[in-house]
Chain A
Amino acid sequence: MNDEAACGLFDSGHRACGGCGAAMAARLMLDAAGKDTIIVSSTGCMEVFSTPYPETAWKVPWIHSLFENNSAVASGVVASLAKQGRKEKVIAIGGDGATFDIGILCLSGAFERGHDFTYICYDNEAYMNTGIQRSGATPYDASTTTSPAGSCSFGNKRPKKDLPMILAAHGAPYVATASIAYPPDFKKKVEKAINTPGPCYIQVHAPCCTGWGFEGEKTIAIGKLAIETGLWVNYEMENGVVTRVKKVVRKPVEDYLIEQKRFRHLFKPKKNDAEIAKIQATADRNAEKFGIDIKLKK
């Protein structure tokens, strides 16, 4: 396979770290969406590593305006295309900071108005572009530069915001979670979202080797562990009802946590069983809520 074919519509030469989950998300998203797609990007890692003027990695029409307005810009693009009788699909993409935090006003407005577009959040669970600060998507106890673990702190004090449910509550016809560790599943969800009329949302787990503290060759493995421990659940919701869930034979959350520097304080200088138990309880709640456990026959 030549380079051109391997890269598809997201070209090589961009400045992402080796093993960047967000870059994988961009490539897989375009593989699924195809060339008749307009991408509206928020400010963030993906925008910066893919478009240093005068270069661009994007082989489809692409626009970036601000950190927090990609949903509103996408509203305008959709209206503009409709008025011109054009058929391109519109995808807004942003990181978790742009989506969960600073852009939620525009996102909520666009979903409430029902524009026909897909919003994809590449969720790497902190503000990576500015140096790994906590966001509303940062999980409980993760150490970031603004929620550092310390002598009187175990890291981030709050659980992750449940954004898919918030968007489902807007009446979104299709909401899904996905992971770059499961490419065919993510691509299928992108195809489904862009072909579903109305505002659709996909939150794709995109491990960040730099921000989470693991070697770049482990990105897929870390993504898989998040699913296998129940700390990330891949599911689909249609018209507010969960219709499909990825089931697993669950592993203990320790297997996932111990691989990442952001959770190192839970193991060193000595193992913090009480805090790890709280995170295990989160995974257990997820497992119960979504019914992800595969029961093995004894």
Chain B
Amino acid sequence: MLEITEGSLAVADAVGKCRPQVIAAYPITPQTHIVEALADMVANCTIDAEYITVESEFSALSACLGASAAGSRVYSATTSQGLALMFEVCFNCAGMRLPVVMTIANRALGAPLSIWNDQQDSISLRDSGWLQFYAEDNQEATDLHYLAYRVSEDHNILLPSFVCFDGFILSHTYEPVDILTQEEADRYLPRFTPFQRLDAEDPISFGLFAAPDYYMEFRYEIDQAAKKALSVFPKAGREFAELFGRDYSGLVESYRMEDADCALVAMGSLCGTVKDAIDELRDAGNKVGLLKIRTFRPFPADEVKKALSGVSRVAVLDKNISLGSKGAVALEVRDALYGSQIPVHDYIIGLGGRDVRKKDIARVVSLAGEGKGDLYYGLREEVLK
């Protein structure tokens, strides 16, 4: 049923319908509306979950880790500084193969302190073993939670997932969202069946230490599992499409790429603006298209290479910066295109909530046409002096 609702409320609704048994969260802007809505559901018994109001994000994810190991479906949500505080636990959840699902309301990292959007927070956890899915709009943000549980809990995967949606831009925006009924949600997402759990009837030890003769094999297996998501995610997407008509089977998604000369590459809510800009550029005779990255981890290098094979140039819009290097998405795209002659230009854009408009996208396209890339777009003049 289509409802005009706030992004955070739509996400909270979907999370509730995923039937998490344990929720542990700590408030942080702009994630708060999600965890408040879930607390409300628990307080009114519309969902049947234990809600642990922890004293820090570090404990939020630690509690999720314990609850998951003991055999429950778990959920948390955070952003920015909160995610940074969880850093150590993030690597543990993946290493211990626990299918935790967490929403990231993407926000910049300090210093300087900023509550506004970019994607530095989740990108900074790219090496942690968490699967990372990025939503363009609130419909996608909502639906990706159902997919995330399906993929994470698949016994061939058993890795945690971030569902990333841009803080404020999506989390605090009202849009029409098709809300699933509980019955529909249950048809797609079965009850949680843990692969193994803490159980006195069948005692096992979780989280042993590994000496140099075993450690590498653990890392290899985590990496293999993450890469399996390249086929498990599309399958989960197809099944979702069969039931509800919305298709997320693509690890990447092309928009007006059929005869594109210049391809823009982006993740998250920026894709909506880019699509509108492309429509106008196309009307003016520019052959421009968009390649939207839905799954940043695992990174769909083959799909990216295939989608970009026919273009003359690529312009990557990075809402993050690997300081001292390049934008993280551009590095991946360059790697995917290694050996081709296609130039990949990187544009660091929209950091700390700076607005990105259609005219900015048009400007990036013309900069790419001039071969000018690998720059911060739209900096204040005084820092360049």
Task: Name the B residues within 8 Å of A112 (CB-CB).
Answer: 55
Chain A proximity mask over B68-98: 1 for CB below 8 Å, otherwise 0: 1111101000000000000011001000100
Q: Which residues of A contact B68 (CB under 8 A)?
A: 76, 80
Q: Classify chain A: how many residues form its interface, as a range.
A: 35 or more
A56: nearest chain-B partner, CB-CB? B205
How far is A112 from B59 in the complex, measured between Cα atoms in Å?
A: 13
Indicate the member of B88, B200, B210 with the most A CB atoms within 10 Å: B200
A72 touching B203, Cβ below 8 Å? no
Within the complex, what minimum Cβ distance (angstroms) separates B57 from chain A? 10
Q: Is the CB of A80 within 8 A of B58?
A: no
- The answer on a CB contact under 8 Å between A69 and B58 is yes
Which residue in chain A gives the minimum CB-CB distance to B95? A65
Q: How far is the CB of B164 from chain A (nearest CB, A)?
A: 23
Query: Among A36, A56, A68, A75, which residue has its beta carbon within 8 angstroms of that of B66?
Result: A75
In the bound complex, do residue A61 and residue B63 qualify as a contact, i.e. CB atoms below 8 Å apart? no
Against B, the Cβ 8 Å flags (1 = close, 0 = not) of A54-88 are 11101111111110110111111101111110001
Q: B189 to chain A: which residues have CB within 8 Å?
A: none
How far apart are the CA atoms of A167 and B63 in the complex, in Å? 20
Known: A52-B209, A56-B208. A66 touches B200 (CB 8 A): no
User: Known contacts A72-B63, A80-B50; is A64 also within 8 Å of B200 by CB?
Assistant: no
Residue ID in chain B nearest A112 by CB atoms: B55
Roughly how many angstroms separate A82 CA and B51 CA in the complex, as a whole number? Answer: 12
A residues 94-127 touching B (CB-CB < 8 Å): 105-106, 108-110, 112-113
CB distance from A84 to the nearest CB of B (A): 6
Chain B residues positioned under 8 Å from A280 (CB to CB): none
- Are B200 and A73 touching (Cβ within 8 A)? no
How long is the Cα–Cα vector from A53 to B209 in the complex, in angstroms?
6
A37: Cβ under 8 A from any B Cβ = yes
Closest-CB distance, A161 to chain B (whole angstroms) = 19
On whether the beta carbons of B62 and A63 are closer than 8 Å, the reply is no
| Inter-subunit contact A38/B206 (CB<8 Å) | no
| A35 contacts B by Cβ under 8 Å | yes
Shortest beta-carbon distance from A95 to chain B in Å = 15
Contacts A53-B208, A53-B211, A56-B208 given; indicate if A81 touches B70 (C-beta within 8 A).
yes
Pairwise interchain contact B53-A77, C-beta atoms closer than 8 A: no
Interface residue B367 (Cβ < 8 Å from any Cβ of A): no
Q: A63-B205, A69-B89, A80-B21 are in contact. Are A88 and B66 (CB under 8 A)?
A: no
Contact A63–B66 (Cβ < 8 Å)? yes
- Other-chain residue from B52, B72, B200, B208 in contact with A88 (beta carbon distance below 8 A): B200
A-facing mask of B30-60, CB < 8 A → 1, else 0? Answer: 0000000000000000001110111110110
B274 at the interface (CB under 8 A from A): no
Instruction: Select which of A62, A79, A105 is within 8 A of B59 by beta carbon.
Output: A105
The residue from B21, B22, B69, B214 contacting A63, defined by CB atoms under 8 A apart: B69
Given contacts A54-B208, A75-B24, A88-B200, 19 further A-B contacts (CB under 8 A): A51-B207, A60-B203, A61-B203, A64-B206, A65-B89, A65-B92, A65-B207, A72-B62, A72-B63, A76-B52, A76-B74, A79-B63, A79-B67, A81-B70, A83-B21, A106-B56, A108-B55, A109-B54, A112-B55
Which 4 pairs across A and B sit closest by C-beta, in order of nearness? A76-B66, A109-B55, A72-B62, A76-B67
- Residues of B that sit less than 8 Å from A by CB: 21-22, 24, 48-50, 52-56, 58-59, 62-72, 74, 88-89, 92, 96, 198-200, 203-211, 214
